[in-house]
Structure 1
Amino acid sequence: MKKRGIKKLALGILGGLVLSLNVNAATIGIVNVENLNVRSGPSTTSSIVDSVHFGDKLEILSKTNQWYKIDIDMLSNAYVHSSYINIDDIGKSRIVVNNGELRNSPNLLGNKIADITNGEFINVVYQTGEWFYVATSKGKGYMHSNSFTAPDNDVKPSEKEDSKDAPESDATPESEDTPKKENKKVVTVTTNVLNVRQEASIASSKIGQVYRYNTFDIISELEEWVSIKLSNGNIGYIYKTYVEISDQKTIANVSQLRQDVVNYAKQFLGNPYVWGGNSLTKGVDCSGFTQQVMKKFGVSINRTASTQFKNGTRISQKDLLPGDLVFFGYNNRISHVGLYIGNGQVIHANNPRTGIVINKLTSNQMLPYIGATRVIN
């Protein structure tokens, strides 16, 4: 879930990484407790300006005594105590084994910075999906994982500071037996639209809305409310009556697969539409797009929109989940298909003018909605 104010490393800005502890790559810290305060200065008496959570990756700019200064959007001073941060073991050299392209964003739409040829050494900074932010002799940028030898993803803990100096009020360290993040509780919205309030009260200001099947990590749980962090980073409260609380591990496999499908499909935004095409990069039509995306995940579906409607299980519009197929046309005759990505949106190979785009299901740029099928269990 996206964190408020933190410059998530998956969206890192080229050239914006401060190299403080490693001359070849940014220093990345990983939060090792459930909740950790971010303060305006290197002291527990400094004001709290944000919070981070277990597993969050932070870019470390410098160290002052027992405190790390980290990079937070729009804040010039943000500190976390080093006792609750593990240092990601980055900067290991990898060898390019397939000629690759260095791009300025983690997708095929990113502008090419340079060609990286076989045998060159690179340093992996961090990973986002199938892409890696790397440091090379030709600059920094993103490369696809199939271009080089696989990185070692082990995270080595930083050397612990003396426990007597750790700020107990900022975090409670977990023992070695504490369940990892996959055992945390999550909340899933069970109504079509649910208001998010600034405080745990229906009289509080509304700061946003969430939708059916949206799932969030629970930040805190009250008798009638739970607090969540929205995609824009704001923290708010939703009413328990309209949600389902479950152990994250019970839904991890399904939700992760669906999110992986959506993330993969989004890599090809802006690529060309070609009638009868089957290439996600050089050109594809609507049904070719959905077929090739599903093929990546071992799901075999028919080639045309009308025959894909016969694949999987028919579902109603209110039951749509990310990764479901949605169909459009006139007079109940299917002539177009797309991939539902959540929040009432569909990604699809639209036409030769726009290529692969995202639209609302109800957009006037879409043909009339006919139905949907589920091909991912």
Structure 2
Amino acid sequence: MYRKNIKWIAAVLAAVLVTGGAATIHAGTVATEKPMAGINLSLDKYSDAVLAEQEKEETAEKNMEVTAEQVSVKNTSTTVSKETTDSSDKKTTKKKDSHLKLNLKYDRLGVADVDSYLNVRNKPGESAKVIGKMTKHSGCNIYTINKGWAKIVSGKVKGYVKASYLAKDHEAEELAKKIANLRISVNTETLNVRYLPSTDAGIYDQISEEDEYDIYKKNLTKSWLKNYIAKNCKKSDLKNINTGKMYNNLKNWMCISIDNEKAFVSKDFVKVTFNLDRAVSIKSSGIASKTSSDNSSSSSLSSMVNYAMQFLGNPYVWGGTSLTNGTDCSGFVMRIYEHFGYSLPRTSAAQAGATRTVSSGDVRPGDLFFYGSGGVSHVAMYIGNGQIIHASNPRTGIKISSAYYRTPIKIGRVIS
């Protein structure tokens, strides 16, 4: 059962050292944080205790279902077996992790204690170049603190931040307990995400190894899934699914969040971690890059990306259009373009219809990426070098992701 008090379990242990964060495109190309000895061993013991409590509660929930299942099994020949995942749910299989690694220790945790974001600079000093941004509650490893500046590494960004804006030591650990998140990373190049926890279910979307995804429900139970189906599915959604087999194999599936939507993945092809967000590199965002032979157009697009980046870390509000107080995905894109004199429709689907389709090979900053299952339901703005900025969900707010963290339905252009 997904509970608030498990969210921090390995925040201090994995927050600053899990490679391939939300804004990372090629996980192996840049040096990242390294494990270091130091943090109190009691954190490991606490992790074990909380995991044990979680398993105990989930077992109790499952036991409530046993009586009904025992009655029905007398008249059936259903065999309970381990889920064998259809090979169609992956394209390139990699070695999978069978357990959480909770015994790593790190030197010194820092957490960005800011409202929106904290600039990471290449040298200590207010005039030094900004090379990255840590959004609210992003984690980092602190190397040293000198004259008010902390030398840190967060994800693939290594530089300096104002130490006064970091929660440190015990304060950071206490904050991490409240805000770390249970997530998955994909162990295959591309993974099919299903409407329901069965390889017979329709494909909801495809996700990639280039990003991380929040877990909505790690351990599924029959009662929970029945309630989910009653609220979210039609009878036709179950037409080709062997429901008996599906319920018997729930232990091999989990429910994840993609932006503000829910879907299911096989545990065979994902790795589970508890961690904090990490810094995003400004260098890799392509803000200053030339995007067209037309210098005027290039300057406009660069200014648009710079403007959008100002709102990184601001809140997501469904139905909202305020870049500071809260907006949803289409409201965010609409307001960014509005600032530069362009009028876009209010919804993501309407925005898709109002833009000219371009190929992935011709994409440039300012283009819009549209996502969804069976129709457009999410939109983001491309900022260069394989990255997008978007109002994702209530937890992350406005964030940067890989442009292909899920499969885009369309790439649209507003500015010719």
Q: State the TM bucket, normalised to the shorter chain.
A: 0.3 to 0.5
Alignment TM-score, normalising by the size of structure 1: 0.35
Larger % of helix: which? Answer: 2
Larger % of strand: which? Answer: 1
Which gives a bigger RCO, structure 1 or 2 (Cα 8 Å, sep 6+)? Answer: 2
Alignment TM-score, normalising by the size of structure 2: 0.32
